[in-house]
Structure 1
Amino acid sequence: MLDLVTNQKPENDFARMDYERDRKGPPEGFPNLPDIPGSRYTDAEFLRLEKEMMWDKAWLYAGHVDQLPEKGSWFLWRNSGVPIIVVRTLQDEYKAFYNTCQHRGAPLVTEDSGKDRGFVCGYHGWSYTLDGKLTAVRDKRDFVDLDFSCRSLVQVRCEMLGSMIFVNKDDDAEPLMDHIGPMAKQLEQFELDKLRLVDSREYEVDCNVKVLLDAFLEVYHLKSIHIDTVDRFLDHRAMIVTLWPNGHSRMATPNRRPDWVDPGTVGMPEIPSITEFPAKNNVSYQIYPNFVMPPAPTGIPILQFWPLGPRKSRVVSSWLAPDHDPENPHPLWPTRLSNWERILYEDLQYAPQIQESLESPGFKGMPLNYQERRIYHWHEELDRRIGLNRVPEHARVEQVLSDWVQKD
């Protein structure tokens, strides 16, 4: 039965669930996962390296095309730690720029969103096209040899995953679709380019961002945290995991009853191309480091987890759906969003107390089990992005899961 774990092709997913449900222990050959050092959640030097080498060089979800409904639309995005303008240009392209005038660093926009034919700095009037090119400066006669071509706005890498806009502050990052590798093929069935934005809201939580991320990489906690909600219909013991290169992963948890359908979604429009496996199971994709997407036939929630400091985080929860009309939404959406928020609050409720506890002398590290291997995979990738030799020895994670990563 071991092949059902190591041979992680989608066509084997149903059989893999049967294997997971019936196994008596971890699969043969699965490594003993060394403890995740507790200092990774509290040590100032480690958190600095994490920001510099991982967060500042990662592909991060910035927004949905519905937030840019017309040419000239833009919104200001701050979740990466610096203000970035995401804009739909007059040539109908999606681009991103630092919100920084190239004269003396003043912001080009101060509102959260808007529509313009260009950007004008409110401090000294320098003007730019929506493509970021400098076009005019006040009192040009007073500048000596000012080369407009060298004073364009500083662009940020901006690429699309369907209708979703991702940015990356690293000019040398590999293209987004190459970066997510084997996941890209699986995501095609969800027709992400056709999905509309239904809702988006934010929550701030007093804990390190990894406390939240860890919770969404496993279902080991279902019987404690979600007793009256998802644990009633999900069979966590049959959950399967696929680990991919670059820290990405997928988790799939079957329903307790194969014929179970969420009664709160009956009659809602469905994604026509979705295949049987994600249609009948609870599948959750994770794009490293902080993008979690558990798709369903009638709608796709997307979650991002953002560090606001060593002990503070922001969660952004959004929903995408097929055939959604913002002016005339389906009548089930208010109840569905309310139920989703209830489940989300269950996941967030203990996070501040967990933060207090892991800062105590009683927390030395985390002994993870086979069910929690996505967490270990996430931390292995973090060390690789920092550089294995740069990670302080007391915070280092041993690289042990390479044989369990699906390359294609």
Structure 2
Amino acid sequence: MKRTLYSSDHEAFRESVAAFVQREVVPNLERWEEDAIIDRGVWLAAGKQGLLGLAAPEEYGGAGGADYRFRNVILEEFAKVHATALASSFSLQDDIAIPYIAEIGNEEQKQRFLPPMIAGERIGAIAMTEPGTGSDLQGIKTSAKQVAGGWVVNGAKTFITNGINSDLVITVAKTDPAGGPNAFTLFVVEREMEGFGRGRKLKKVGLHAQDTAELVYEDVFVPDENVLGEIGGGFGQLKNMLPLERLSIAAHAVAVAEAVLAETITYTKDRRAFGQRIADFQNTQFELAEMQTLVNVARVYVDQAILSFNAGEFTDVDAAQAKWWTSDLQNDVIDRCLQLHGGYGFMLEYPVGRAYQDARIQRIFGGANEIMKMIIGRKIVGRP
């Protein structure tokens, strides 16, 4: 089935991205894994080449387009070289942090925050999850108390992507002690603010190169000009922005599944056992046939989801369906591909081994897949 998602402009952009990947990413992948952090040089290089802020308005340095197909090209090219940690970090910047500022921020905030973020000079993060809360955002305990000229924030966050590198952290805090849906507000907390610090850089099952950390807020004064959106409007703002985050997870999931499957097909054609190619065994052919079909079906769905997002028709239910299905599929395909590699699949020198580690989080972040099914199920039965 011929793919029709892209135009010649997208393919020309792909050539530029592929060159960037070979020049700035591939030579550094092993070092980033060993150092357990991605150095800031690649962020500056990406900003210089125009790979950040693709959907941000041109007046702030962005590309000025709402066409997610260009972002998807980047995800696909990163997937081909298994730069999963970098893809996740960049998605946090381009699909979460920058859109929050661009969509919710006032004019002064856009002028102050967007240009350095688009240039890769300032790295963004979002801090929702806390120890003991997980997907239950109603359980957030980080508080913000109003004082003259601003707010004092106290609390702790965990599992924060870009937690060490981040310069601007969009922080969810409770501004009404009584609780309820209107009790939470978003604040842009900056690295240099007194009382704001980093806890541990967390050791993870996968995505070793990506800096995931704890954050600590001890009487952090956040001025009024760093309040993002309306006081008490945090939950509504989060809900409105989540579909894009989940689309990015789905798009990356399919891209990685495609890349790992393509490498596995090559491996089974080259590797021999019992006097014949592994690809010549009927079980191998059945496995490859099933996986190729599943990945192709998922690709068609995600391509349509991207077009739906571009048209402004992509809903929270669409996003939940795309996120849970593709992330489950990604994990299943990689697991089966690893099995076809035999013992070599368990070695990290083979990309399938690292992909196996990195894929597991896809079913958790952006909202656990069980939460995605609740969103879908409630819509089906007519519950709010």
TM-score, structure 1 normalization: 0.24
Higher strand share: 1
Higher helix share: 2
Bigger relative contact order, structure 1 or 2 (CA pairs below 8 A, ≥6 apart)? 1
TM-score, structure 2 normalization: 0.25
